[in-house]
Structure 1
Amino acid sequence: MPTSLTSPPPTDDHRHQPGDGHGHDGHDHDGVLDVFGARTEIVFALLAGAAVLGGWLLENVGDVDSALPTSLFIAAYAFGGSLTVREAYQSVRAGRFEIDFLMLVAAAGAAALGKFFEGGLLLFLFSLGHSLEHYALGRAKRAIEALAELAPKSALVRRDGLEVEVAVENLAVGDTVIVRPDTRIPADGFVLRGTSSVDQAPITGESVPVDKQPVDDPARAAEAPDGVAPESRVFAGTINGSGALDIRVTRRAADNTLARVVQLVSEAETGQSSTQRFTDRFERYFVPAVILFVLGLIVSPVLTNEDFSDAFYRAMAVLVAASPCALAIATPSAVLSAVARAGRSGILVKGGGPLEILGSLQAIAFDKTGTITEGRPRLTDVVTAQGITEDRLLRAAVAVERLSDHPLARAIARGAAPRLTDAPATATELQSIVGRGVRATLDGTPIHVGKLDLFAEIDGPSPPPEIEAFVDSLETAGRTTMVVRHGHEYLGVIGVMDTARDGVPEVVDELRTLGVARMVMLSGDNQRVAQAIAAEVGLDEARGDLMPADKVTEITTLREQGTVGMVGDGVNDAPALASATVGIAMGAAGSDVALETADIALMGDDLRRLPFAVGLGRTTNAIIRQNLIVSLGIVAILIPATLLGLGIGPAVFVHEGSTLIVVGNALRLLAYREKT
């Protein structure tokens, strides 16, 4: 039965809407047809049913003139077919012969034979199924639209020393919003004052409230809001706990995370999977073929000498049987339900294509830092060169790393500062050497901090044997190392370690149980560190010493062997995410780059969402296959049955029943449960 999963505004040329099986929505009935508002469709269907029932009773029970039941059957035509006529007209005008048109032709054919009851019954059941289908699909759509209602309509703002209430859409970047206990947060921002626990489940899917505290440096946080730590960052639509918070707004209402998610989910509704594209192509050829076949049945008496009325009636029954209503809705209904269910768990899926691929992944590649590991490494080792004090080495390293936002740089600055006897020096002119380290100027002299390989690529003396030995010893112990050279003098080696996230081994086991055959870690760290982390969490393979371009090469190699997903943070891993069959970004809440780059976004910074997403994708694919088997199977059974004499009435019951079975099966995805 034809339907649309979106409600696009009407266009002058009634062009086919993406993701809509038939180019109309079945809801927006304007003019005289909108007499009952949003309920018009179901009311008209029920009136058609009442007219059919009344006409049948009068015809079979009462002793009345035949004109009266015929009038009621004609009324059933009017109520059951009025909305269908409008939609069929639009599709035919656009050059498409679709299911609405087939139903109208069958009903008109029944009337031409004087079988008004069967024609009225056809239009009643068709319109009733149509309206019930829209009601059922509306449940999935409402689950998505409910996202837009999460943010409050107004906010309490401190301006010029006064507290004023303003509409959320009038909030400006830099405003200070006051959030009372147990109220929804109205904007994306960071905490300036106060502590509280915030329920972020509506955005990130996290089941436990997250403790929030003020930022250390509001000015720096305002300059780089995307770099604010999770414990100080808040999102519109989340729910504050028992503490009051002052929040600095970092995004306007139209640009906040919630608005972006709503926009991308709406776009996801129109995204088509390969199965949906196949069924659309199938319908494009199948419907005209049905029309030609029916025309052949109508003119067959010329060759068979069969009674024309019998041949015509059989042709109309075949027309009903062959209409691929269930096929048209089989995939879109499942996709919409799955997208809605994923959204409730903090997973953004950009349409049917990524969802279908997610359900058929054969391999997954993981970025290491921030994905497999916490992304918050700590300083563990400080090894000085001969004649160099620890204080001098750390002073030089902190001077440089304070200028960088890289996680390793922050770890060194954070861990070394308390160990300094004097205030850190100030370096200038920081330059990043991608994948190798950094260069700066300290006390008028160049200083380099980076991997051992860096010093084979730049001018100056090669590392002495003792430095190479320090690096080898630390890396064997699983440390990530950075060599420090000030001018031509090597000061020593610093070791940091990034520990694996809690629950990663369990995630790997769940993915393997779900059928993901190969899992690989890609890292810019050295091979020994990467191998140690991979072995700890149970991954199959590790690739270390990779530049961003090398990660793309590895993904390309994996793709040659089957479908592959890439899991990363969506920023540093953007090229690899784009190269994978499906890109999956972690911790995407608040990150425009992650939301734009990835096909699937885990809004929370929790890898444990991934098995749920893969399991949902696999279940969605199974339900789509079931729906296709039911829809095509019913057509395959009904066509021969009608050719052998099955009437229009029984054909209509089976036909409409199969459509509702398909929709009901798809809606099971709304209740998909997480594995515990």
Structure 2
Amino acid sequence: MNDIVELDLPLLLPDVGDQSDRCLRRLERSLQGMEGLDEVHLITPDDDSPIRLCLHVDRAVTSVGDVRRAARSAGAEITKRFGHVLWDVSGITHSRRARSVAEALRRQPGVVEAEVTLSLVRVEYDRMDIAEGALRNALADLGVRVDAALRSEKGPLDAPVVTQPSTAGQVASGEKDAPHDDEHAHGGPFGERSEIIFAVTSCVLWAAGFAAELGGLLPESALTTVFIASGLFGGFFTVREAIQGVRNGRFEIDFLMLVAAGGAALLARWEEGALLLALFSIGHALEGYAMGRARRAIEALSELAPPTAIVRRGNQESEVPVEELVVGDVVVVKPNERIPSDGFVLAGTSSVDEASLTGESIPVDKQPVDDPADAAERPRDVRKESRLFAGTLNGSGQIDLQVTRLAADTALSQMATMVREAETNASPTQRFTNRFERVFVPSVIVLAVAVLLGGPLLGASWSEAFYRSMSVLVAASPCALAIATPSAVLAAVARAGRLGVLVKGGGPLENLGTLRAVAFDKTGTLTEGRPRLTDVVPAERSSEDELLRTAIAVERRSDHPLAAAVVRDGLERLGTDDVPAATDVRSITGRGVSGAVEGEEVYIGNVALFEERGRLDPAVRAAAEELLQTGRTIMIVGRGSRPLGVLGLMDTAREGAEEMILQLREMGVERAIMISGDHQLVADAIAEEIGLTDAWGNLMPDDKVDAIEKLREAETLVAMVGDGVNDAPAMATATVGIAMGAAGSDVALETADVALMGDKLLTLPVVIGLSRRASRIIKQNLYLSLGIVALLIPATLLGFVGIGPAVVFHEGSTLVVVANALRLLRYEHR
């Protein structure tokens, strides 16, 4: 006989941040061969508790204790061996630089994976081969400074810790980081502004030399000196990137620019070589500035929460840093101040503007919880009217807040970190362009060599062929192509964050922009999730009083939304709380619930439950079917051998559901499907009211996964919208999993590809519209960048365009691409 053992993953793998981490697979593989262990898999609980590892143990072969010890030992071994870091960094000013740094890290022995963006470095590494200090040293050698640890070895979302990179040669473990030379850390003598200062200096020198040449103000030797100085300033950072690229075994765009500039110098065309490097450097600098705007939009999320809070401890009030708040502290929030931490209203009433987190512009009225002790024990069950989130803005009333989360664990903090981490998740288009560049750049070099060697054979002089070859290098360099996708993805993710939506990278963003089918869970997503008891139909040998008293007794012990409705509305109908106690209450998955009342066995559930038991009374069946025809959810109640009757409940559609479906249809979503465990007639009634194209009812939890798989076969790209908790398997099966009302839900934030922080349905068309706009801009950028290259290559081959005009078009297209992408920061849904 098998026993099932469930172990919380944070206890086994404390360093793992989410379900995509490779260490989860490593843990599963390490246990699968264990004798007496029949099955190993992950499960997502139906609440905000941690993901668990489920072990099916054959106790005839081994003991549960041995399996627990083996799992803990395997987890400890994996945790000991594999490290994970997520660092906030500076010194990376453009996407090509980020890619170069990532390549350099991946070449380090022991690095399993490395992803780098303009401000983040994420690394998974094997501690047997490399230590964290060595990774810091490698970054320092590349001119990248670690500013903060957003994810440390202690957990997925520890508070940021300001650090300095260790010096080369420092022991990786056990030593404090020493201050690092500022020029090395920032990549230049003027710190973070070095590149823009060098670029502007290069351009000024070139312009001065050009003006002096036109006016005949300087001799030839002096002009040459000015242009050489311009080229040195313009090529300073380009040389560094080119060398790093060659070390990584790749010829990057920077390398092509240097070769072309060097070629111009060999031909004594100092002016054109300097122009190339000046414009290339200023293009890099402006690209970094423009991309910085998108980064700052993301970083602004984490700055919404105030740095300090007024804490009342005893009769004393004092101002403390928010990092020092502990769970249970009482914080005084004055009118028109931002709320410093997640918690609930202990005293006072006010309205709170939650737009910064959820994107919902209408302030939410807040009032104190009924039972502070219960709210402190179960904070995720606190109703919306009493929940408070860090970073939101208090209205005109003063309120007392009881803290339920540490500063590093607030919904705002988690969202800000995840939005920034999403930058490291490349989109399909970005991965394609990266692969394309790896082939295209060497091909350009081959083409340039062919032009150089073939020119004299076609009658051109060696100098003409060489100049034309250098012009081809400039014309064919895919700078705009390299930045086309990441700039749009970064801007769109930043804008989504400001709208109260977490998009985890370019993949979900692009998929949202092209999907044609969306599946919705019913309860709590399309409907309020607060059904009402509308019908009480007692059986022939029963009464309404007995039916309600029995149903309430059992359902009081259940946490299902239908049970709460039966208890709430049933007690109101009875007019008394005099209800017997139920014992031995058990859930019957997909069928109902059972228990014992006053010594008699009680079953409450659907038609299938009573058909399986062979106790479905014909009159009760008829009453149930009649209620089903009207779109009610039915609950048949039986006590002992007697049927007591049928209860009819109805869930109401959420506000904005019909308008949301209409907007999706207008945007090109051809199918909107509801998947539900309710009877098909109930699903049909809701679907008709809202305007859905399909409604699939009578689905067990596993059936929902099958339904999504079937839908993917028909439509290829499918989104699944649910609450991110009990819908996690279906969401994981869909192309894009979308969680509604994810604010304050760790599970929803971790499992979904896209998380709508608020529970407003009309946010969904907004984010899909943003994704569609981003997809269009990505395509525009790709067409523009490839089109410029396609035009310039033949123009330079035929001699119509030289190095100067080629670099103007080249850098101009790069800036146009970035500016086009930044339009997403101002996206407004109409």
Matching of residues 469-508 of structure 1 within 5 Å:
469-508=622-661
Q: Distance in 2 between matches of 1:133 and 1:193?
A: 50
Equivalent position SS for 1:561 = helix
Give the counterpart of 1:259 among 405, 413, 416: 413
Aligned to 1:137: 291
Q: Distance in 2 between matches of 1:6 and 1:176?
A: 46
Equivalent position SS for 1:567 = strand
Aligned to 2:41: none
Equivalent position SS for 2:520 = strand
Q: Which has the higher contact order (CA 8 A, sep 6+)?
A: 1
Q: Note closer, same or farther for the CA distance 1:509–1:33 as it changes in structure 2 (3 Å cut).
A: closer
Please state if 1:214 is matched with 2:368: yes
Aligned to 2:215: 61
Q: Note closer, same or farther for the CA distance 1:6–1:336 as it changes in structure 2 (3 Å cut).
A: farther
TM-score by length of 2: 0.78
* Residues 472-496 of structure 1 deviation map (CA, whole Å, 9 limit, x = unaligned): 1211121111122233332222111
Larger deviation: 522-531 or 53-62? 53-62
Report the Cα offset of residue 160 of structure 1.
Answer: 3.7
Equivalent position SS for 2:115 = coil
Aligned to 1:395: 549
Q: Distance in 1 between matches of 2:418 and 2:365?
A: 28
Given residue 525 of structure 1, which amino acid in structure 2 is its aligned partner?
Answer: D
Given residue 550 of structure 1, which amino acid in structure 2 is its aligned partner?
Answer: D
Residues 298 and 311, structure 1, Cα contact 8 Å, conserved in 2? yes
Report the Cα offset of residue 6 of structure 1.
Answer: 9.8
Given residue 485 of structure 1, which amino acid in structure 2 is its aligned partner?
Answer: G
Q: Distance in 1 between matches of 2:414 and 2:211?
A: 56
Give the counterpart of 1:191 among 345, 361, 378: 345
Larger deviation: 133-142 or 432-441? 432-441
Aligned to 1:454: 609
Equivalent position SS for 2:669 = coil
Please state if 1:597 is matched with 2:751: yes
Q: Distance in 2 between matches of 1:418 and 1:301?
A: 94
Report the Cα offset of residue 11 of structure 1.
Answer: 7.8
Identity, % of aligned pairs?
Answer: 59
Residues 2 and 99, structure 1, Cα contact 8 Å, conserved in 2? no
Please state if 1:568 is matched with 2:665: no
Report the Cα offset of residue 12 of structure 1.
Answer: 10
Unaligned segments of structure 1, at least 5 residues: none
How many residues in Structure 1 have an aligned counterpart in Structure 2?
A: 673
Residues 183 and 190, structure 2, Cα contact 8 Å, conserved in 1? no
Matching of residues 25-44 of structure 1 within 5 Å:
30-31=183-184, 33-44=187-198
Aligned to 1:18: 115
Equivalent position SS for 2:714 = coil
Matching of residues 527-676 of structure 1 within 5 Å:
527-562=680-715, 563-645=717-799, 646-675=801-830
Residues 14 and 94, structure 1, Cα contact 8 Å, conserved in 2? no
Report the Cα offset of residue 372 of structure 1.
Answer: 1.1
Give the counterpart of 1:412 among 538, 560, 566: 566
Q: Distance in 2 between matches of 1:373 and 1:288?
A: 56
Q: Distance in 2 between matches of 1:441 and 1:266?
A: 52
Report the Cα offset of residue 427 of structure 1.
Answer: 2.4
Aligned to 1:153: 307
Residues 103 and 123, structure 1, Cα contact 8 Å, conserved in 2? yes
Please state if 1:124 is matched with 2:278: yes
Equivalent position SS for 2:519 = strand
Report the Cα offset of residue 174 of structure 1.
Answer: 2.2
Unaligned segments of structure 2, at least 5 residues: 1-91, 108-113, 122-138, 146-181
Q: Note closer, same or farther for the CA distance 1:2–1:657 as it changes in structure 2 (3 Å cut).
A: farther
Larger deviation: 60-69 or 570-579? 60-69
Q: Note closer, same or farther for the CA distance 1:181–1:63 as it changes in structure 2 (3 Å cut).
A: closer
Report the Cα offset of residue 131 of structure 1.
Answer: 1.0
Aligned to 2:229: 75
Given residue 429 of structure 2, which amino acid in structure 1 is its aligned partner?
Answer: T
Larger deviation: 86-95 or 22-31? 22-31
Q: Note closer, same or farther for the CA distance 1:71–1:9 as it changes in structure 2 (3 Å cut).
A: closer
Q: Note closer, same or farther for the CA distance 1:180–1:122 as it changes in structure 2 (3 Å cut).
A: same
Aligned to 1:3: 94
Aligned to 1:431: 586
Given residue 751 of structure 2, which amino acid in structure 1 is its aligned partner?
Answer: T
RMSD value, Cα: 2.4
Given residue 562 of structure 2, which amino acid in structure 1 is its aligned partner?
Answer: L
Residues 583 and 597, structure 2, Cα contact 8 Å, conserved in 1? yes
Give the counterpart of 2:379 among 225, 234, 239: 225
Give the counterpart of 2:424 among 265, 270, 278: 270
Equivalent position SS for 1:560 = helix
Report the Cα offset of residue 8 of structure 1.
Answer: 10
Equivalent position SS for 2:95 = coil
Equivalent position SS for 1:423 = coil
Equivalent position SS for 2:443 = helix
Given residue 382 of structure 1, which amino acid in structure 2 is its aligned partner?
Answer: V
Q: Note closer, same or farther for the CA distance 1:302–1:15 as it changes in structure 2 (3 Å cut).
A: farther
Q: Note closer, same or farther for the CA distance 1:8–1:216 as it changes in structure 2 (3 Å cut).
A: farther
Equivalent position SS for 2:695 = strand
Q: Distance in 1 between matches of 2:808 and 2:144?
A: 23
Q: Note closer, same or farther for the CA distance 1:224–1:434 as it changes in structure 2 (3 Å cut).
A: farther
Equivalent position SS for 1:542 = strand
Residues 660 and 761, structure 2, Cα contact 8 Å, conserved in 1? yes
Q: Distance in 2 between matches of 1:5 and 1:100?
A: 9
Please state if 1:353 is matched with 2:450: no
Equivalent position SS for 2:698 = coil
Residues 19 and 271, structure 1, Cα contact 8 Å, conserved in 2? no
Report the Cα offset of residue 33 of structure 1.
Answer: 4.9
Residues 261 and 348, structure 1, Cα contact 8 Å, conserved in 2? yes
Large movers: runs of 4+ above 6 Å: 5-12, 21-29
Given residue 646 of structure 2, which amino acid in structure 1 is its aligned partner?
Answer: V
Report the Cα offset of residue 9 of structure 1.
Answer: 12
* Residues 492-531 of structure 1 deviation map (CA, whole Å, 9 limit, x = unaligned): 2211111111222221111111111111111111011110
